[in-house]
A = this chain, B = another copy of it.
Amino acid sequence: MDFAYTPKMIEWRDRLTAFVNEHVVPAEPRFREEIQANREKGHAWDGSHEVMDGLKAAAKKAGLWNMFLPASQNGAGLTNLEYAPLCEIMGRYPLTGEAMNCSAPDTGNMEVLERYGTPELKERWLKPLLAGEIRSGFAMTEPDVASSDATQIRSRIDRDGDHYVINGRKWWTSGAPDERCKVLIFMGRTDMEGEDTDTYRQQSMIVVPMDTPGVKVERVLTVFGYDHAPHGHAEVSFTNVRVPKENLLLGEGRGFEIAQGRLGPGRIHHCMRLIGMAERALELMCRRALVRKPFGRLLSDQGVTRERIAESRILIDQARWLTLNAAYMMDTVGNKEARKEIAMIKVAAPNMACQVIDWAMQVHGGAGVSQDFPLADAYAKARTIRFADGPDEVHRNQIAKLELAQYLKV
């Protein structure tokens, strides 16, 4: 019905919606119970995965598997624009992504391995990842430097004969606490002396199996009090971690090049998920407003609530069009030409989601910040994305430079 949705997009959307209604929605409470039970037994990170394993089986059977891979025999042949509406559904029902093997950071890692991995790396890591048998992490952010500027990364990747030796400390390595996480893609400096004067060519990416000696998950980081088990985020130390030289991807100094390639699609995914989260918050806000009646008047009949519902609808729809256009641009002119559009959604979508979820929480009162609704958790996630993968400020700066550049030429 809406002007940018092709029949193919609508078909996939409907197919996934059917799957979600049949499988994911009923699984949500069971999943929460399973995780909570694991946590109480002290097995938050290595407990049962019964519910998720069941969902994965169902998704595979339904042919909903690895759709994130755009141009690959392993994927579904969807463009970014076509895949985007599916991400919105994954954001609305958070179990959906992993159920279909479409969740970060595995998606980015699989793309990188498929594109740059040796046949051995593919066999060893890409294959089980594509099969959903293991999970993976991405170790980039460091506690000691301003993560908004990745040129400041200090972890070392030193060549030593046929190996690279890795030393450093990472944090916010999502998935690392999960016992299913078997491999990391690690970013660090190969050019410690800065021989390449281009600071964007001093870093490299390398594949590090979790069981390599010297890799240590130091602690789990909480996000607004949440541990996000069973996946979670960890601080991980690397002490003389030795891996074969073939594990280095694409070549020394090409870490940023790889990072750029994964960023674009990742941002589309993130932003569409945020839109889905916001849609769910808006639905909850409406449903709550229709039953709560303080001072003799339903919240849904009160002007203040209505203002927020209307503004939420406007904010969500605006963010969606912006994101779909960015996806379309990526598909048609490429990541580089679309960098302004990609930066724009990275600013707009998380801020929108924080606002909508915040209003939804306010309508729920105490229930809204408690474990009884997914709102506070969604807020914590949306808030985090306002700086993860580059804070708003860095993206706005880039947008403005591109905007100003038009008038420099003239």
In the bound assembly, the distance between CA atoms of A310 and B324 in angstroms comes to 19
Is the Cβ of B393 less than 8 Å from the Cβ of A332?
no
A282, B406: Cα distance in complex, Å? 12
| Given contacts A314-B348, A321-B322, A383 and B396 within 8 Å (CB-CB) | no
Interfacial residues of chain A within 286-334, with CB under 8 A of chain B in the complex: 286-287, 289-290, 292-295, 299-300, 302-307, 309-311, 313-314, 317-319, 321-322, 324-325, 328-329, 332-333
| Known A-B contacts A224-B226, A225-B226, A328-B2; A387 and B366 likewise in contact (beta carbons under 8 Å) | yes
**Does A81 contact B386, Cβ atoms closer than 8 Å?**
no
Binary flags per residue of A91-114, CB closer than 8 Å to B gives 1, else 0: 000000000000000000000000
Interchain nearest-CB distance for A148 vs B (Å): 5
Out of B292, B299, B399, name the residue touching A309 (CB < 8 Å).
Answer: B399
In the complex, the answer to whether B4 meets A3 with C-beta atoms within 8 Å is: yes
Shortest CB-to-CB span from A289 to chain B, Å, is 7
The stretch that binds B, out of A27-35, A123-131, A139-147, A178-186, is A139-147
Question: A76 interface residue, CB < 8 Å from B?
Answer: no
Asked if residues B380 and A362 are in contact (CB atoms below 8 Å), the reply is: no
Shortest Cβ distance from A152 into B: residue: B294
Q: At the interface, yes or no: A394 with Cβ under 8 Å from chain B?
A: yes
**A369/B383 contact (C-beta < 8 A), A407-B286, A408-B290 known:** yes
Give min CB distance, A312 to chain B, whole Å: 8
Q: A388 — nearest CB in chain B belongs to which residue?
A: B366
Q: Which of A222-248 contact B (CB under 8 A)?
A: 222-227
Q: Does A361 contact B (CB under 8 A)?
A: yes
A4 partner residues in chain B, CB cutoff 8 A: 3-4, 325
Smallest CB gap from A148: residue in B: B294
Stretch with Cβ within 8 A of B (4 or more), from A45-53, A154-162, A201-209, A371-379 = A371-379
A344 (CB) vs chain B CBs: closest residue: B314
Chain B residues in 8 Å Cβ range of A395:
310
Q: How far does the Cβ of A307 sit from chain B's closest Cβ, in whole Å?
A: 5
State the Cβ distance, A368 to closest chain B Cβ, in Å: 8
Determine whether A71 belongs to the interface, using a CB cutoff of 8 Å to chain B. no
Q: Is the CB of A141 within 8 A of B394?
A: no
Which residue of chain B has its CB nearest to the CB of A340? B313
State which residues 346-368 of A face B: CB under 8 Å: 347-348, 358, 361-362, 365-368
The smallest beta-carbon distance between A277 and chain B, in angstroms, is 15
A391 within 8 A of B: yes
**In the complex, A403→B289 CA distance in Å?**
12
Query: Is A310 within 8 A of B383, CB to CB?
Result: no
> Chain B CB within 10 Å — which of A225, A319, A391 has the most?
A225
- The answer to the question of A172 belonging to the interface, with a C-beta cut-off of 8 Å to chain B, is yes
Chain B residues contacting A81 (CB-CB under 8 Å) are: 3
Closest to A397 in B: B306
Contact of A396 with B325 at beta-carbon distance under 8 Å, contacts A226-B225, A408-B290 already known: no
Distance in Å from the Cβ of A325 to the closest Cβ of chain B? 5
- Given A310-B396, A396-B311, A404-B300, the answer on whether A147 and B366 have CB atoms closer than 8 Å is yes
Report the separation of the CA atoms of residues A318 and B325 in the bound assembly, to the nearest whole angstrom. 10
Q: Which of B3, B293, B347 interacts with A314 by CB under 8 Å?
A: B347
| A171 adjacent to chain B (CB < 8 Å) | yes
Q: Is A257 part of the binding interface, using a Cβ–Cβ cutoff of 8 Å? A: no
Does A221 sit within 8 A of B, measured CB to CB?
Answer: yes
How far does the alpha carbon of A84 sit from the alpha carbon of B292 in the complex, in Å?
A: 35
Chain A residues packing against B (C-beta within 8 Å): 1-4, 81, 141, 143, 146-149, 152, 171-172, 221-227, 282-283, 286-287, 289-290, 292-295, 299-300, 302-307, 309-311, 313-314, 317-319, 321-322, 324-325, 328-329, 332-333, 340, 343-344, 347-348, 358, 361-362, 365-371, 376-377, 379-380, 383-384, 386-388, 391-401, 403-404, 406-408
For the complex of A and B, 4 pairs with smallest distance between CB atoms: A225-B225, A321-B321, A225-B226, A306-B400
